[in-house]
Structure 1
């Protein structure tokens, strides 16, 4: 069983002004025809993290991200409407029904030409999210490229026949073998055993190790992105906050002292915005229980704000 809770307007609080200058002033709660639209949808789920033996607490993440977004300065064009659709909550251990609901929601948003931004929650969200996108594209003869900024492949097999936060891309590769194009940036050897590299080779996954995923190596990174994105029509971006160094993202289920920096992640996001191929995105694995001064929640909020600004402000210029 899963529940979709409506958006909570009380989360969107901040400094007031006579014109729209902050996100809390710009957020909407109902769709409207005739405008470009972006929809925020939260995933309050810890079951996948629990099954993967991670630190529990990610279910509280979506509302924490909203609180950080609320006070940010708003620079998106008037022609764009940003919606808050509330949260899908996993009840008890029934993660699968929540995944089904999210897939249906994502598919419906894309059919309505609304850009989904999903806020997690465990990275098992990527299975539900990706399934919704791939189902939407199934009859359109379009190829999807999945780009994951992450320390982990998340290509683990199922546990007792059940998915978890380490298996989303494995599940997508099994269900959509003819349309599985996957690039993971920021992989850490210490976080991925040999079996996962075998899964990566078996699924024709492409990746870049964290040691190479650095700003001074940008020309090579851009070349890799160009080759990968040149073979697909649409791109789904997943940002796992545990890929960042714990200096920037301490509040995650699996922190890493040697992860990548926001500078290189934002450089990739800007590059992807310029392709015009991005169809959906998510930010996952925030764990407010272990955050420090809302540092990780603020980073998650900035990832969303930056990506949307680079996509839509440029379109208006």
Structure 2
């Protein structure tokens, strides 16, 4: 699958490099199919984020930020064991990696590359904390596996609502802040956005988006759906208001399960999230 991003700029000229990881080998989910997600997101992006008229490719205008002058290159798909090296190549070239999973375990390798030897702040949009420590090297132990690369005290879990007791204990011990969907409703999305910006202020920030952070009413095509999630508008506001004001080290979007999607609505959401995030990146 070739995306319109690939036609946008070659690797050397690009400031943003997109890659896919068609792999779910470290997932324990009963709902399978995230290995097909990268090309599904590309297809959704081509269909919903671009128009073609008279042979001219026309991107849709994002709600925030701009795509004007944004040089984006799609580097294609990468094998699971090559994620760290490819991400490291992108980071060392001074570009921002945007990765489409696959299962969430890829984030541990991406965080290792993104910091380039230094710890980064992490904004982890997920229904689950993925902070299991009794089992390692799978999609539920991402934060444990990434301990050497993340400054937990400058990081935040957003949209959390389906945590194991072990994960809550680990998050508290690490000093990792957590915002649930009920918190967003109670405090208001503007206050939560301010909380996020204060938390990551002065640091390089990596953003990881598990699509199950969104309520399954709006995003049914995910590996482990959990009721009571974040609304689409709130998610996009939190992402764009943060990205436009901070130094982003990288971004990923994971856990799309196309076989469980409804009329492509989750794939189209993933494509829209990427558009809005790219538009707000400082390049």
Q: TM-score range by the shorter chain?
A: 0.7 to 0.9
Of structures 1 and 2, the one scoring higher in RCO (CA 8 A, sep 6+) is 2
Q: 1:69 deviation in Å?
A: 1.0
Change (3 A) 1:53 1:158: farther
Q: Counterpart of 2:208?
A: 238
- Cα distance between partner residues in 2 of 1:124 and 1:115: 19
- After superposition, the C-alpha distances for 1:120-174 in whole angstroms (9 at most, x for unaligned) are 110111111111112x143xxxx52100111111101253xx411111111111x
Higher-Rg structure is 1
Shift of 1:110: 1.3
Pick from 189, 208, 213 the counterpart of residue 184 of structure 2: 213
- Cα shift at 1:28: 4.1
- Structure 2 residues not aligned, in runs of 5+: 51-58
Alignment partners' CA distance in 1, 2:32 and 2:117:
34
Query: Residue 186 of structure 1: CA displacement?
Result: 0.9
CA deviations 1:6-36 (Å, max 9, x no partner) are xx43xx3xxxxxxxxxxx377347323xx45
- Alignment counterpart, residue 299 of structure 1, candidates 265, 269, 277: 269
- Between the aligned partners of 2:240 and 2:149, the Cα distance in structure 1 is 28
Which aligned pairs between 1:218-297 and structure 2 lie closer than 5 A? 218-230=189-201, 232-297=202-267
Counterpart of 1:31 in structure 2 is: 11
The structural deviation recorded for 1:220 is: 2.7
> Does structure 2 retain, via aligned residues, the 8 Å contact 1:29–1:85?
no
**Deviation by residue 1:193-225 (Cα, 9 ceiling, x = unmatched):** 211111111222111122112396124313311
Q: Which residue of 1 aligns with 2:114?
A: 133
Instruction: Say how many residue pairs are matched.
Output: 269
Change in 2 beyond 3 A, CA 1:77/1:260: closer
Is residue 65 of structure 1 aligned with residue 41 of structure 2? yes
* Unaligned 5+ runs, structure 1: 1-7, 13-23, 91-97
Residue 144 in structure 1 maps to residue 115 in structure 2: no
SS at match of 1:254: coil
Alignment pair present for 1:87 and 2:65: no
Offset at 1:104?
A: 1.6
Contact 1:61 1:288 in 2 (8 A): yes
Mapped contact 1:144–1:235 kept (Cα < 8 A): yes
Instruction: Give 1:47 shift.
Output: 1.3
Report if aligned partners of 1:252, 1:286 keep a CA contact under 8 Å in 2. yes
**Which of 141, 147, 151 is the aligned partner of 1:167?**
141
Indicate the RMSD between aligned Cα atoms, in angstroms. Answer: 2.2
When normalised by structure 1's length, the TM-score is: 0.78
TM-score (norm 2): 0.87
Deviates more, 1:81-90 or 1:175-184: 175-184
Measured in 2, the distance between the counterparts of 1:295 and 1:229 equals 31
- Superposed CA deviations along residues 44-83 of structure 1, whole A, max 9, x for unmatched, are 111111xx34421111100000001113131555533211
